[in-house]
């Protein structure tokens, strides 16, 4: 099995952490890029002692297979330096996972679902576009020459909120919808190069056990509250999504077996976007 070289943005927490960890488990060379340096350092410490990720005697260690990099995807020089360092360490790049984003969808800010878009500065909207859309564009732009050389791929992590929305999601929904459009455009622009570009749009994925900094601050006895039965049963699939639901399809898209797939958006939401939601 070819040991691919993968760069994951937003790798310190959430889906990014899960994807990066699974890639390392498979023996891939992974650059974990994030501007949350506290979580990034904590994750490096955790993985260094994780014998499931780096089994004793395997010849694989954090030092040989992982690069933890403080990267701000809004800053071209930061992105350029990150990609250069990744290329220098691993001698190439096979896949870019554009996962970093402003995670809270509310235009008013985290934990503020009720403030309407016309009550907040335009800068709030602009920040979503800069991070969730322009950020992946910058990363793709600087990774492109290396991906062409490797005939690699890009996977953009969008959202079902690009297709459906709750109130006061203008910035998040617009940026994630734009990311699907960017995916299609880049896929066509890479025609003949061997580079594929696809998007994955997760629905509700429970990533609470991937919050590195939060979990480090809790005692071992602190349990993550269980989701309710209605949380699960509203999904046609019968449950809320798990990080591995997204990681598995990203792994498939990175694999050479998906070589005839490009320009597509894969919705992984337990069927929610296909469900009629009018009140009975």
If you write DSSP's letter for every residue of 17-33 in order, what string do you get?
Answer: HHHHHHHHHTT-EEEEE
Is residue 29 within 8 Å of residue 5, measured between CB atoms? yes
CA dist., res. 179 & res. 185, Å (int):
10
By CB atoms closer than 10 A (0-12, 13-18, 19+), residue 149 is middle
Q: List the structure tokens of 189.
A: 């622009």
CA dist., res. 28 & res. 6, Å (int):
7
E strand intervals along the chain:
5-9, 29-34, 66-70, 95-98, 153-157, 196-202, 265-268
* Cα distance between the two ends of the chain: 52
Is residue 68 within 8 Å of residue 32, measured between CB atoms? yes
Active site residue 172: yes
pLDDT for 241 equals: 95
Q: What are the backbone dihedrals phi and psi of residue 80, each rounded to the nearest 5 degrees, phi first?
A: -60, -45
Q: Which residue, 214, 95, 210, 219, is CA-closest to 149?
A: 95
pLDDT for 3 equals: 85
227 to each of 150, 181, 206, how far by Cα in Å?
42, 33, 9
pLDDT for 261 equals: 99
pLDDT for 276 equals: 85
Residue with tokens 């023996």, as numbered in its chain = 27
Q: How many residues does the chain have?
A: 280
Q: Which residue, 31, 176, 160, is CA-closest to 102?
A: 176
Is residue 100 within 8 Å of residue 78, measured between CB atoms? no
Can you name the residues that pair with 157 across neighbouring β-strands?
200
Can you name the residues that pair with 205 across neighbouring β-strands?
241
Helix 122-129, helix 170-189: angle, nearest 10: 30
CA dist., res. 159 & res. 244, Å (int):
16
pLDDT for 207 equals: 93
Catalytic residue among 28, 29, 69, 172: 172
Which strand (E) or helix (H) includes residue 50?
none
State which fold the 5-274 domain adopts: Rossmann fold (3.40.50)
Mean pLDDT by 10 residues, the chain (280 residues): 89 97 97 98 95 94 98 99 99 99 95 95 98 99 99 99 96 99 99 99 93 68 81 93 98 97 98 86
């Amino acid at each position: 099995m070819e040991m691919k070289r993968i760069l994951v943005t937003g790798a310190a927490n959430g889906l990014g952490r899960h994807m990066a960890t699974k890639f390392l488990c498979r023996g891939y060379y992974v650059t974990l890029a994030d501007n949350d340096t506290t979580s990034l350092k904590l994750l490096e410490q955790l993985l260094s002692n994780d014998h499931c990720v780096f089994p004793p005697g395997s010849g694989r260690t954090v030092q040989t297979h992982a690069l933890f990099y403080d990267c701000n995807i809004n800053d071209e020089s930061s992105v350029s330096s990150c990609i250069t360092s990744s290329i220098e360490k691993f001698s190439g790049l096979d896949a870019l996972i554009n996962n970093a984003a402003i995670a809270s969808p509310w235009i008013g800010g985290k934990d503020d679902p009720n403030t309407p878009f016309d009550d907040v500065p335009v800068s709030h909207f602009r920040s979503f576009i800069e991070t969730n859309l322009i950020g992946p564009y910058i990363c793709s732009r600087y990774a492109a020459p290396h991906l062409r050389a490797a005939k690699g791929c890009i996977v953009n992590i969008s959202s079902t909120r690009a297709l459906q929305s709750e109130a006061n999601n203008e910035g998040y929904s617009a940026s994630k919808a734009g990311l699907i459009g960017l995916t299609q455009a880049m896929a066509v622009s890479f025609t003949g190069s061997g580079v594929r570009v696809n998007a994955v749009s997760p629905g509700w994925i429970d990533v609470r056990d991937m919050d590195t900094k939060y979990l480090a601050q809790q005692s071992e006895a602190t349990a993550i509250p269980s989701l309710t039965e209605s949380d699960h049963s509203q999904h046609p699939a019968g449950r809320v999504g798990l990080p591995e639901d997204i990681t598995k399809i990203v792994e498939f898209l990175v694999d050479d077996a998906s070589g005839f797939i490009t320009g597509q958006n894969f919705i992984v939401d337990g069927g929610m976007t296909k469900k009629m939601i009018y009140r009975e």
